[in-house]
A = this chain, B = another copy of it.
Amino acid sequence: MIIIMNPAARPESIKAVEDAIRSLGLRPFLNPGVERKVIAVLGEMGLRKADLVERFSIMPDVDRVELISELWKLASRTYHPEDSVIDVCGVKIGGPEVVVMAGPCSVESEEQTIGVARAVKAAGAKMLRGGAFKPRTSPYSFQGLGEEGLRILARAREETGLPIVTEVMDPHEVDLVEQYADVLQIGARNMQNYSLLKRVGSSGRAVLLKRGMGSKVKDLLMSAEYILSEGNHSVILCERGITTFEDSTRNTTDINAIPVLKNWTHLPVVLDPSHSTGDWKLVPAVARAGVASGADGLMIEVHNDPQHALSDGMQSLHPDRFAELMESLRAVASAVGRSI
């Protein structure tokens, strides 16, 4: 159960609700510092639920009370039945349009980045992805250009008008990345980095949250809840493949997760077929599958010279192939009543 207070709820009203919760042997949870006060009621409510809704609904400054049995509350469709549509500089994710975000895995140079940005825009991409801070398995791998990479992304945005999605890895880098990025990406390896989730939860930027490769759908929603419960409601979920015993691909695309998430949450869901397959030859088929299964967007790696990419070349499409793919994606989107 969650209790949503009026925007102007007085502290004494909040305290009264909290005391009432405790007096029933339950625990109140209130996010400190969040503007709109939402009090989660935790503990076993047994058969008293309907009574409780009534009881709390009439307390001062209570806006409404929602019975939500899922572990995630603000992320739940029960709490928010309509699809959330997130507006990023005019690009709407979660609505009728399937939004394609494309670009290089890593920002390597201004020339490369702007070249790829122009190409993906021409092919129909609506956002530019690119990494300036790169989480790499090996400390000896290219770790990204850092702030210089962010500046290059900003120049690519100036050139093309495409909003930027880029990763942030450390809560204390959020201040910096926010100055450049339109969407803050939380990488798969940081899906349960709770310090980072809380920090982006208080950001004014939208957040793209990637599923951890060993994480369940439920855990992804719980991580989204961390961000939502800090007051940032612009959260985009991203399926990017999970680890399984299958070794013919780098990861296993969990295509089931797309409709499961669409049933359980109002948040938009995108698929990253580049990481979920790890092989550019498989990206087109799996990208089409993503659109057909109901994804609200795709995140695709495109590189002008995949064989010499500093990271993930194997899974990056050449701009020509990306343009071909966009053609076929348009047809599939149309077949399921959407547009690209």
A residues engaging B (CB < 8 A)?
29, 31, 40, 42, 71, 73, 135-140, 169-173, 189-196, 212-219, 222-223, 225-226, 229, 242-249, 252-260, 262-263, 276-277, 281-282, 285-286, 288-294, 328, 331-332, 334-336
**A20 CB → nearest B CB, Å:** 18
Q: B253, A246: Cβ atoms under 8 Å?
A: no
Least CB distance, A283 to chain B, in whole angstroms: 9
Q: Determine the distance from Cα of A335 to Cα of B135 in the docked complex, in whole angstroms.
A: 37
Q: Are B285 and A229 in contact (CB under 8 A)?
A: no
B288 contacts A290, C-beta separation under 8 Å: no
The distance from the CB of A250 to the nearest CB of chain B, in whole angstroms, is 9
Contact of A276 among B226, B249, B256, B328 (CB under 8 A): B256
Q: B42, B192, B245, B292: which contacts A243 (Cβ < 8 A)?
A: B245
User: CB distance B138 to A225 under 8 Å?
Assistant: yes
Chain B residues with CB under 8 Å of A229's CB are 139-140
- The complex places the Cα of A81 from the Cα of B173 at a distance, in Å, of 39
Check B242 against A244 for contact (C-beta < 8 Å): yes
Chain B nearest Cβ from A183, distance in angstroms: 20
Q: Are B40 and A140 in contact (CB under 8 A)?
A: yes
**Beta-carbon nearest neighbor of A282 in chain B:** B259
A–B Cβ pairs within 8 angstroms, 15 of them: A137-B192, A138-B225, A139-B225, A139-B229, A140-B225, A193-B193, A214-B215, A216-B248, A218-B247, A247-B247, A253-B255, A255-B286, A260-B282, A285-B292, A328-B335
Residues of B within 8 A of A293 (CB): 285-286, 288-289, 292
Is the pair A246, B255 in contact by a Cβ cutoff of 8 Å? no
Interface core residue of A140, A218, A328 (most chain B CB under 10 Å):
A140
Cβ distance A76 to chain B, nearest Cβ, rounded Å = 13
